[in-house]
C-alpha cells in the first residue's frame, strides 16, 4: 500500500490511560516515517466503549488500541473478530474499515512472543513446564501464544482458582489450573515463569511469589513495563535467572496494529527502545 497522503489518526482507549507509553511509541513511528498524524490517549469510562468506538469513523480515525478495562467488552461491540481474539476472549486492537465497520484483533499474543524471541532466539515453548501467574486478559494472551508455540505444560496459578479453571477448560491441554497456595510448588522444574498480573507495577504491591524452587536456568518474564524492573525481575536477576520486562511486548504489538490501520510495517529499533526506556526512567 502506498503511504497515505492524509492526516492519520489513531488512539488508545482505557481508564486510566494517561500512564500509557503507546502515544510515545506510535508518534515516534509517525515522525520516523515522515507521516502527518497523531496518536492520542482517550480516557473512556467503563460502559462508554460502544459510543466511543462507533465515533471513530466519523472522526476519521483509522483505529485504536484498547487497554484496561475494555479488552473483553469490545468483543460484543465490533463487527468482526479475528480467530486469535475470539479464542483469547479479548481485543487489544480495533481497525476502522472504509465503510465504518469495526474489526477487532488481539496483538498482545504476537507482542509477547516476539519479545521473548528477540531476547532468546532459540526459545522453545516445549522445552519444559511454564508457569503463568494471573488469569486476566494478559494471561489469556500469553497462554494462547505459548500454546500456539507448542508448550506441553502450562501451570496457571491465580488467587481465584475458578478463573484459572475457566481458562484451562477453554484452552484445554496443556493448561493446568493451580491453587494460589500451590504457587511455590508449581515452580519446580519450570522452564519459564511469566507474571501477567498487575502486582509489581508502580503503585502496586509486589507479586507474592518466592523463587526458591525455580531453576536458575528458567527465564523470568513480566508483562509489566512500569517499572522496567519489577521486584519479581530484580529478585530473579539477583539469583541468576535471565529476565525480560514487558516493554518489548508493547513495542512489538504495535507493528501489526500499524499494518491493520495504515498498511505499513514499522520497525522496532534499538533507538526506539532506548527512547521509551528513557521516558520510563524519567531521563
Residues labelled catalytic = 71
User: Residue 138 corresponds to which cell in the numbers above?
Assistant: 494478559
Exposed, middle or buried by CB within 10 Å (0-12, 13-18, 19+), for 159?
middle
Q: Parallel, antiparallel, or unpaired for β 63-66 and 93-96?
A: antiparallel
Peptide bond into 69 cis (omega under 30): yes
Cβ-based neighbours of 83, under 8 Å, separated by 6 or more? none
The number of beta carbons lying within 10 Å of the beta carbon of residue 178 is 20
Buried b (16+ CB within 10 A) or exposed e, 125-135: beebbbbbbbb
Amino acid at each position: 500500500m502506498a503511504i497515505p497522503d492524509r492526516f492519520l489518526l489513531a488512539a488508545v482507549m482505557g481508564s486510566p490511560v494517561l500512564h500509557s507509553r503507546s502515544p510515545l511509541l506510535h508518534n515516534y513511528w509517525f515522525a520516523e516515517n515522515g507521516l502527518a498524524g497523531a496518536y492520542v490517549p482517550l480516557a473512556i469510562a467503563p460502559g462508554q466503549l460502544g459510543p466511543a468506538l462507533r465515533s471513530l469513523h466519523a472522526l476519521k480515525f483509522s483505529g485504536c488500541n484498547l487497554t484496561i478495562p475494555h479488552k473483553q467488552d469490545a468483543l460484543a461491540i465490533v463487527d468482526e473478530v479475528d480467530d486469535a481474539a475470539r479464542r483469547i476472549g479479548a481485543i487489544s486492537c480495533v481497525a476502522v474499515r472504509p465503510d465504518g465497520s469495526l474489526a477487532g484483533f488481539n496483538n498482545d499474543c504476537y507482542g509477547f512472543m516476539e519479545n521473548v524471541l528477540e531476547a532468546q532466539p532459540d526459545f522453545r515453548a516445549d522445552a519444559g513446564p511454564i508457569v503463568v501467574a494471573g488469569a486476566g486478559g494478559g494471561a489469556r494472551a500469553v497462554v494462547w501464544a505459548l500454546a500456539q508455540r507448542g508448550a506441553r505444560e502450562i501451570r496457571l496459578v491465580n488467587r481465584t482458582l475458578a478463573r484459572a479453571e475457566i481458562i484451562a477448560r477453554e484452552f484445554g491441554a496443556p493448561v493446568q489450573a493451580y491453587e494460589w497456595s500451590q504457587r511455590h510448588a508449581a515452580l519446580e522444574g519450570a522452564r519459564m515463569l511469566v507474571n501477567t498480573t498487575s502486582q509489581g507495577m508502580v503503585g502496586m504491591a509486589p507479586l507474592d511469589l518466592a523463587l526458591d524452587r525455580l531453576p536458575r536456568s528458567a527465564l523470568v518474564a513480566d508483562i509489566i513495563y512500569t517499572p522496567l524492573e519489577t521486584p519479581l525481575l530484580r529478585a530473579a536477576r539477583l539469583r541468576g535467572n535471565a529476565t525480560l520486562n514487558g516493554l518489548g511486548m508493547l513495542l512489538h504489538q504495535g507493528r501489526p496494529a500499524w499494518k491493520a490501520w495504515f498498511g505499513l510495517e514499522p520497525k522496532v529499533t534499538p533507538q526506539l527502545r532506548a527512547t521509551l526506556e528513557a521516558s520510563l526512567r524519567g531521563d
